[in-house]
């Protein structure tokens, strides 16, 4: 399958970095573009355009760190930070606007569910294919 456009939502977890690694391997050197998206969820009490400087700075640093993975593969990256009320809806909308063929999303394990509400929303609502990257299997103690 030849891919031209992928989207990787990123957050502060190891699964996001693993998702980026997988996306880069899928992209190869075929001119595929990867869009990195970091969603800053804005509480309803604040306007959507609120400046949340600390979260914006952390998001920028995260995007830069994950983009460095793409540099090692020679893959082109577009970085985008989005303010939204709901991360899942923002990811799906971004993928639709950019005509993304595949979303590669990290899915950290949750205690009571296999994965969180953002991943669940993306799996249910995305108009494109979704590849979910879970936590690495735990190794048995020797």
Domain 5-134 fold: Rossmann fold (3.40.50)
User: Whole-number mean pLDDT of the chain?
Assistant: 89
pLDDT band per the 50, 70, 90 thresholds, residue 29: low
Query: Distance (Å, rounded) from C-alpha 142 to C-alpha 131?
Result: 32
- What local confidence, expressed as pLDDT, does residue 137 receive? 58
pLDDT, tens only, 53-93: 899 999 999 999 999 999 999 898 999 999 999 999 999 99
- What local confidence, expressed as pLDDT, does residue 115 receive? 79
- What local confidence, expressed as pLDDT, does residue 136 receive? 63
Residue spans of the domains in the chain: they are 5-134
């Amino acid at each position: 399958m030849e891919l031209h456009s992928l989207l990787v939502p990123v957050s502060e977890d190891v699964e996001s970095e693993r998702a980026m690694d997988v996306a880069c391997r899928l992209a190869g050197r075929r001119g595929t573009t990867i869009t990195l998206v970091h969603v800053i969820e804005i509480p309803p009490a604040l306007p959507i355009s609120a400046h949340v400087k600390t979260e914006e700075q952390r998001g920028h640093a995260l995007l830069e760190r994950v983009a460095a993975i793409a540099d090692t593969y020679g893959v082109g990256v577009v970085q985008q930070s989005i303010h939204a009320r709901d991360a899942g809806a923002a990811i799906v909308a971004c993928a639709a606007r950019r005509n993304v063929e595949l979303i590669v999303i990290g899915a950290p394990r949750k205690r009571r569910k296999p994965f969180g509400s953002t991943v669940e929303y993306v799996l249910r609502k995305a108009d494109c294919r979704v590849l979910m990257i879970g936590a690495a299997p735990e190794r048995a103690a020797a």
